[in-house]
Amino acid sequence: MSGSQVVKKILDDKITIYTRNNSHFYQYYFTHQNQVYRGSTKSKNLDESERISIRKYDNLVGKGIKPKSGKNIRDCIEYFFIDKSDIKEITRNSYKRQSRFILEYFDEIDKNFDPNTINHGTLVDYEKWRLNYYKAQPKKMSYKYKRGNHTVKLHKNFKISPSSVSNEIVLLQNILRYCNNTDFITIAKIPYKKRPPVVVREETLNKTEYLKLKKYFLDKKKYYHWSIISFIVNSSCRFPSEVNSLQYKNINLEKERITLTRKGRFGSQKKWTIPLVGTCKDIIMQLKSREGFSSEPDDFVFVKNSKGEQIKSISWTFKKAVRECGIKKKLCPYHLRHTYATKMISTRPDLSWAHISASMGHANTRYLQSVYGHLRPGDLVKFFQRSEKTREKIKKEREEKRILQKQVKTLVKKQSITNVEDNSLVPGVSFDI
């Protein structure tokens, strides 16, 4: 239990209560028949954690680890959503979309599938089924949506990414773990499946492509769309969550900075600063100087008309512009933020990883280095060439300084000898006998 600290041992030292650096709750730990059992008590109170740990021990050890009957996957999911009421609405909606596929899979196998029998093989089978979901059911590739007063039916070749499937598997694991910790079910061991490696989004806009898009939007007179795109590229703000929520009270033109607040885990709020320089400042000044638009502290900065209306998505417009500009890359608005990170890393070696991470709202540099930190071979060579030129310059300056010091020493030595031969040059010194 590295990174952990033992708080208390109870039940004749059979159960260990401890804390972990990355958890706010007390943890329990015990062994039975060479099997390790550990988990979170989901409580910050030590007395309550002791009761939960003892109950857990009695259920798993005292009763011989007997699974509870009459529970299926649907019951577990419903219990998870009903009992865990502290989930945010956006997270809850995401979980519900993911759980729909989990229910569909287990309904195909057996509607009364016992959740206590889920193991690693079950997760592997689910992953295979999910990755081939649309191939096995091509009719589900068609979907309908409303555009104005009309209903449009589209047929799209959906591709399921391994990361999406991995998120669904993690949700299933969390549901089982939560139901197990609250004694809704009793499973001997929560199955584990390794996540797929993170796919780095290497596609970015280079300078030529950026200027093509700029000309396209300006020729189409979509100035407001371009102000959003240009602002994201030069500030790394996310759209629409951060761009549309930006208010004039968050902007300090004198100190040239933008201060935003983002909600973190357990209700915490984190503030970070975005430098308001160059293109970013020009965009803000242009938006503020529009006639008929209010710029009070509580007014939003990015509004498309004087009524305060905002654009909720630029994805369709941006992708269309990419196609019509002849850019052969699969880009979406998120790649604008990636372009910012790559541009800062590639062209601003004077800025440290910490500065770039702070401007993007990251808590540390780890995410930036793992996802955005790739460098093109040309940039790597350019950095070494720049470093080599700097080294030669420093070497030359040191040599010139050494020669100058040598000349000064020689001059001082000659001057000293001259002063000794001619005592008149040395005040206060007389050689008279």
Same domain, 370 and 383: no
Residue 194 maps to a domain: no
pLDDT of 68 reads 45
pLDDT of 155 reads 63
Q: How far is residue 60's CA from residue 323's CA, in Å, rounded to a whole number?
A: 59
Same domain, 219 and 285: yes
Range of the domain at 118: 73-181
Locus of tokens 């409580």: 43
Same domain, 357 and 393: no
Mean pLDDT confidence for 291-316: 90
Mean pLDDT confidence for 34-63: 77
Same domain, 213 and 274: yes
User: Residue 4 is inside which H or E element, if any?
Assistant: strand 4-10
The percent of residues in the chain predicted with pLDDT above 70, rounded, is 83
More confident site: 104 or 379: 104
pTM above 0.85, yes or no: no
Cα Dmax for the chain: 123
Same domain, 8 and 21: yes
The percent of residues in the chain predicted with pLDDT above 90, rounded, is 24
Q: How far is residue 161's CA from residue 425's CA, in Å, rounded to a whole number?
A: 89
Residue 98 maps to a domain: yes
- Residue 408 confidence class, pLDDT cut points 50, 70, 90: confident
Q: How far is residue 330's CA from residue 322's CA, in Å, rounded to a whole number?
A: 9
Same domain, 357 and 212: yes
Same domain, 363 and 392: no
Residue 357 maps to a domain: yes
- pLDDT digits over 186-217, tens only? 888 888 888 887 666 667 888 999 999 999 99
The count of structural domains within the chain is 4
- CATH number of the domain enclosing 270: 1.10.443.10
Query: Strand, coil or helix: what is 192?
Result: coil
Which of 147, 181, 215 is the last residue in one of the domains?
181
- pLDDT digits over 256-303, tens only? 999 888 765 545 567 888 889 889 999 999 999 998 899 899 999 999
> Does residue 423 have a pLDDT over 60?
no
Which of 36, 62, 88 is the last residue in one of the domains?
62
Which of 142, 163, 181 is the last residue in one of the domains?
181
Residue 198 maps to a domain: no
Residue 9 maps to a domain: yes
- pLDDT digits over 383-394, tens only? 677 778 888 888
pLDDT of 322 reads 94
Same domain, 355 and 271: yes
Residue 191 maps to a domain: no
Mean pLDDT confidence for 84-104: 82
- Which of 73-77, 402-406, 416-420 shows the lowest mean pLDDT across its residues? 416-420
Mean pLDDT confidence for 218-238: 92
Same domain, 257 and 321: yes
Residue 398 maps to a domain: yes
Residue 67 maps to a domain: no
- CATH number of the domain enclosing 119: 1.10.150
Mean pLDDT confidence for 232-244: 89
DSSP code of 5?
E
Same domain, 47 and 96: no
Same domain, 176 and 266: no
| Contacts by residues 1-8 (CB-CB < 8 Å, ≥ 24 positions apart) | 1/29, 7/46, 8/46, 8/50
* Neighbour count for residue 207 (Cβ, 10 Å): 9
Same domain, 249 and 336: yes
**Single-letter amino acid code for the residue at 167:** N
Q: How far is residue 174's CA from residue 179's CA, in Å, rounded to a whole number?
A: 8
